[in-house]
Amino acid sequence: MTDRIEITRPDDWHLHLRDGDMLRGVLPFTAAHFARAIIMPNLVPPVVTKADAIAYRTRIMAALPSGADFTPLMTLYLTEASDPDDVAAAHGEGVAAAVKLYPAGATTNSDSGVRDIAKVYLVLERMAAIGMPLCVHGEVTDSSIDIFDREAVFIDRVLDPLRKRIPELKIVMEHVTTKDGVDYVASADKNLAGTITTHHLIINRNAILAGGIRPHYYCLPVAKRETHRLALRKAATSGNPRFFLGTDSAPHADPAKEQACGCAGIFTAPNTLSCLAHVFEEDGALDRLEAFVSLNGPACYGLPANETKITLVKRDTPIAYPDRIETGAGPVTVFDPMFPVHWEVET
């Protein structure tokens, strides 16, 4: 029985760090295990321009614990007023690794997002020409569409037509949550990949709704049926290079989660690697964990894999993670996978 594995140091290809006191409170948990992360730009106000990204990156670096080895990979928030020249300059100067498409109203702080995809074609065509990836929150926001169907409808109405119009645009469909999404990404011949979160490999919609409403399992895109979770597990553990880790770790202070209209987001940064080792071992795929967390993502983004290694050790007794962490912005509940976790990153 394997009780120790060494893998290339991983990266997180979808991460929310927030800002201010929350940033300072949560950043150390990612920096402890991950070498790089794609940083989401949905602040208030959002990170739209090259100057915005430089300023936010400066704040992140200032919040890093002393001695931490971590590189934030910045993204720009796509709006219908985004300037193609500014976007291209941010990419060319190494300021922004990608642009993020939020359909307006789809998730936290997305009100400034895109309502009419045709209004951003010029930006997207410029991105395709310079090889800049587009990260996509893949849900429609039409209130007539059931929330559990919004990913599948987005593929049909927005993503597939976009890929046919601009086939050279490199797209990362973030936090895939459905078998529809898995099948669509897997069937693409080029320029499409998908990230999968830790929590969507572990929970289905029963975690949110069965036995009472449990807000700390509520995220967007919302967790789906068990059949979709199993499709995600199969994709993540398959070794298919189109799929890789993007945790979508998204901290909110508990009072913002535990109210009549609570925020969407699950904070998984402290125990993601432990949970993933459990999942991959359970599915007989520990030998493919490194590809999912450390190799496939850099290959998609045209970056080298990290040179350093980490070791995961399986302990006899379960690892005790805190129920919550304290930040200057308030307490933040840590994701509970609802099973004992025995894998730990060796320090």
pLDDT digits (tens, 9 = 90+) for 29-82: 999 999 999 999 999 999 999 999 999 999 999 999 999 999 999 999 999 999
* Bridge pairing between strands 192-196 and 243-245: parallel
Using CA atoms, how far apart are residues 223 and 202, in angstroms rounded to an integer? 10
Residue 108 has pLDDT above 90, yes or no: no
Where on the phi/psi map is residue 78: left (φ > 0), alpha (ψ -120 to 50), or beta?
A: beta
pLDDT of residue 1: 67
Residue pLDDT, tens place only, 304-333: 999 999 999 999 999 999 999 999 999 999
Active site (catalytic) residues: 248
The per-residue pLDDT for range 119-175, each reduced to its tens digit, is 999 999 999 999 999 999 999 999 999 999 999 999 999 999 999 999 999 999 999
Q: In angstroms, rounded to a whole number, what is the distance separating the alpha carbons of residues 222 and 228?
A: 12
Task: Assign 297 a pLDDT band (cuts: 50, 70, 90).
Answer: very high
In the numeric block, the tokens 């919550």 are attached to 324
Instruction: Write out pLDDT tens, residues 213-245.
Output: 999 999 999 999 999 999 999 999 999 999 999
152 vs 338: CA distance, rounded Å: 28
The model's confidence at residue 109, banded by pLDDT at 50, 70 and 90, is confident
CATH class given for the domain over 4-345: alpha beta
Q: Which residues of 166-188 are buried (b: 16+ CB within 10 A; e: fewer)?
A: beebbbbbbbbbbbbbbebbbee
pLDDT above 80: residue 176: yes
238-286 pLDDT, tens digit per residue, is 999 999 999 999 999 999 999 999 999 999 999 999 999 999 999 999 9
What pLDDT score was predicted for residue 347? Answer: 83
Q: Is 24 helix (H, G, I), strand (E, B) or coil?
A: helix
- In this structure, the dihedral spanned by the alpha carbons of residues 222, 225, 230 and 235, taken in order and rounded to 10 degrees, is -40
In this prediction the pTM is 0.97
